[in-house]
Amino acid sequence: MKNKGYFAKIAVAISIGAAISACQPEKTSKQPEPIPTGPTAAEAKAFVAEAEKTLAENYGYLAKTAWVQANFVTSDTNELSAMASEKATKLGVSLAMEAKKFNNLELDYDTRRKLDILKAGLVLPAPENDALTKELATITSNMDAQYATGCSANKECYNLGELSSILADSNTTHEEKLAAWVNWRKVSPQMRKDYTRMVEIANQGSKELGFTDTGSLWRSKYDMPADDFAKEMDRVWGQVKPLYNSLQCHVRAKLNEKYGDDVVSSSGPIPAHLLGNMWAQSWGNVFDDVAPVSDVKSIDVGERLKAKNYSEVEMVRTAENFFSSLGFEPLPDTFWTRSLFVEPKDRTVQCHASAWDLSETDYRIKMCIKVNAEDFVTIHHELGHNYYQRAYNLKQPMLYRESANDGFHEAIGDTVALSINDNYLKKIGLIDEVSDERGDLPYLMRMALDKVAFLPFGLMVDRWRWGVFNGEIPADKYNEGWWNLREKYQGVKAPVDRTEADFDPGAKYHVPGSVPYSRYFLAHILQFQFHRELCKIAGNEGPLHRCSIYGNKDAGAKLIAMLEMGSSRPWQEALETMTGSGEMDASAILDYFAPLQKWLDEQNQGRQCGW
């Protein structure tokens, strides 16, 4: 059957009504034509209730199908995932199209908000056409599988982890780094045709829902007009851009000293393969090349974990303990028996770290954990998703079981991770003594290379997609548009000539996976704003970067209160619940990195900054 739940009942009612009409005795005189009436508020409320029931009935099946496909990547699971995706898309489109019928009614707050959530609930809305819905599901499943297998069109396969390790190693030559950078981008050109078609189909579906294009649909989810949201992104980016410019200037100068003018110019954009990350989205792996000199040895958390014989599971237990110290209930037993912590040797899995909500009692993470500092932080981030999921699942109806906006979801675990500093590490026994303030500049540089360096990348990924969806970046200029934005926002350039035979955006998982990326930019802003407020509640009187809220139940209670709201209120109200203000404020980043900003300005004297 095409329609399920509410829609099946409508179909049955129509059929029954027709049968009753056929059995009525023939009228002896002409009856007046019935006056057409539109939908009513009562019908809207009933529709929302039935929609929530239908979504709840389907959620577990769809989530578990996706879980199996991500953990057992085969042609069979890809096909099953495509079928489930097609079903989910059809359901979502049906609910969204039906929700449109109530647009012009005056409704109570909850009914109107839930209808709006249904209309904007699809990432890639297919048109009301079975063939196009199936085609879209097949395309998205195929691109996901192509990324997971890492093979080029001529069947040469590459391991993302191994190539990333070459880029991350400060001892490899720039030629080796370039080869690794180029090789990974051989897996994405084959996606280009599918991606172009995906854009066409999704835009058609978005227009049927009343949006100008899919990018407009994405931006409509932020409790403000779509264009206003884009302006809000620019506003907060403007607050932190001077700090980023100082960081880019210093990093470029130090890489120029290391590699010479022929590889890195002392002015202009930085070649992307030299920044220690496959996408140059975070620069922590060039720390040794650019760090302030200090006689205080920085702590390598990864080495401390290994020295203490931490296993992958013990790293997860430690992260759980952080949330428990704030007053959160422990994770259910099934989390430990059903999650994936270590990459299997006998099958292909999608190793990209993720958190899963499969039911009101079933929460998991999927992650190929390595015993290192990066994964230690990532685990805290993923558990933040799980605790957020459980908080609103226990308090909210189905359509409010989501974060205030998607940036909130990404921010929570990272907010906790900002407390992974010396004070915390000493409390859990990973280090013996807290370093003095002479070690703060290297610590802040390491944080900035990850957090501040990420901001323009987090902004430009969706800027590119918005341009693709609205036609400002046409299909024959996908790659040109990508690199224009990278140079504009990041001051980063391709290390070799790229053409439209390439599809470099597809080498980043979130693009073929159609995961909206603005959430990560928002998260990097919000986490510092959250951290500053929670530290105030915890009574912190020292520098913001030295604050840890570990063990503070008052801070935990404030956090839990916001998480339990889910998406029941506009995100501005959720933000106000936490911080006392409904406006995003990136000044918390400037507060956190104030000592580093002063040092960078001193280092950059006499240098030609900007690009």
Q: Which of 50, 352, 475, 576 is catalytic?
A: 352
Q: Which of 86, 320, 382, 533 is catalytic?
A: 382
What pLDDT is stored for residue 103 in this prediction? 87
Summarize the chain as % helix, strand, coil (round to 5).
60, 0, 35
**CB-based burial of residue 505 (10 Å sphere; 0-12 exposed, 13-18 middle, 19+ buried)?**
buried
Which residue carries 């000592």 as its tokens?
595
> Is the predicted pLDDT of residue 396 greater than 80, yes or no?
yes
What pLDDT is stored for residue 1 in this prediction? 35
Task: List the chain domain ranges.
Answer: 6-11+39-150+187-211, 228-603
Mean pLDDT value across the chain: 90
**Cα dist from 341 to 145, 367, 425, whole Å:** 21, 5, 22
Q: Which of 250, 273, 385, 545 is catalytic?
A: 385
> Is the predicted pLDDT of residue 5 greater than 80, yes or no?
no
What pLDDT is stored for residue 16 in this prediction? 24
Whether residue 382 lies in the annotated active site: yes
Under the banding of pLDDT at 50, 70 and 90, the label for residue 21 is very low
**Mean pLDDT across 118-146:** 88
Can you tell me the distance from the alpha carbon of 176 to that of 164, in angstroms, rounded to the nearest whole number? 11
Which of 537, 402, 418, 506 is closest to 150 using CA atoms? 506
The count of other CB atoms within 10 Å of the CB of residue 353 is 17
What pLDDT is stored for residue 87 in this prediction? 85
Note whether 500 and 478 are within 8 A (CB).
Answer: yes
Can you tell me the distance from the alpha carbon of 605 to that of 506, in angstroms, rounded to the nearest whole number? 39
What pLDDT is stored for residue 88 in this prediction? 85
| CATH class of residue range 228-603 | mainly alpha
463-477 tens-digit pLDDT: 999 999 999 999 999
What pLDDT is stored for residue 10 in this prediction? 28
Q: Which residues partner with 151 through β-bridges? A: 157
Q: Which of 88, 410, 523, 588 is catalytic?
A: 410
In the DSSP assignment, the letter for residue 264 is: S
State whether the Cα torsion 524-278-137-63 is positive or negative.
negative
Whether residue 400 lies in the annotated active site: no
Can you tell me the distance from the alpha carbon of 363 to that of 356, in angstroms, rounded to the nearest whole number? 6
Q: Which residues partner with 340 through β-bridges? A: 366
90-122 tens-digit pLDDT: 888 889 889 989 988 999 999 999 999 998 888
Position 134, amino acid: K
Can you tell me the distance from the alpha carbon of 114 to that of 335, in angstroms, rounded to the nearest whole number? 30
Which helix (DSSP H) or strand (DSSP E) does residue 353 occupy? none
Q: Which of 174, 273, 380, 510 is catalytic?
A: 510
What pLDDT is stored for residue 128 in this prediction? 83
What pLDDT is stored for residue 130 in this prediction? 87
Whether residue 385 lies in the annotated active site: yes
Can you tell me the distance from the alpha carbon of 277 to that of 457, in angstroms, rounded to the nearest whole number? 12
Token pair for 111: 């009914």
What pLDDT is stored for residue 19 in this prediction? 28
Under the banding of pLDDT at 50, 70 and 90, the label for residue 410 is confident
> Is the predicted pLDDT of residue 553 greater than 90, yes or no?
yes
Which of 164, 223, 138 is closest to 408 using CA atoms? 223
Token pair for 189: 């050109």
What percentage of residues in the chain have a pLDDT greater than 70? Answer: 94
Whether residue 510 lies in the annotated active site: yes
Give helix then strand counts, H and E, for the chain: 24, 4
Token pair for 127: 């048109």
> Is the predicted pLDDT of residue 25 greater than 60, yes or no?
no
> Is the predicted pLDDT of residue 296 greater than 90, yes or no?
no
**Mean pLDDT across 169-182:** 95
> Is the predicted pLDDT of residue 23 greater than 70, yes or no?
no
State whether the Cα torsion 112-118-120-126 is positive or negative.
negative
Q: Which of 250, 273, 380, 381 is catalytic?
A: 381
The count of other CB atoms within 10 Å of the CB of residue 60 is 13
Position 8, amino acid: A
Whether residue 352 lies in the annotated active site: yes
Whether residue 353 lies in the annotated active site: yes
> Is the predicted pLDDT of residue 30 greater than 80, yes or no?
no
Which among 62-71, 80-89, 298-307 has the top mean pLDDT? 62-71
| Contacts of 214 by beta carbon, 8 Å cutoff, 6+ apart | 124, 125, 199, 202, 203, 205, 206, 469
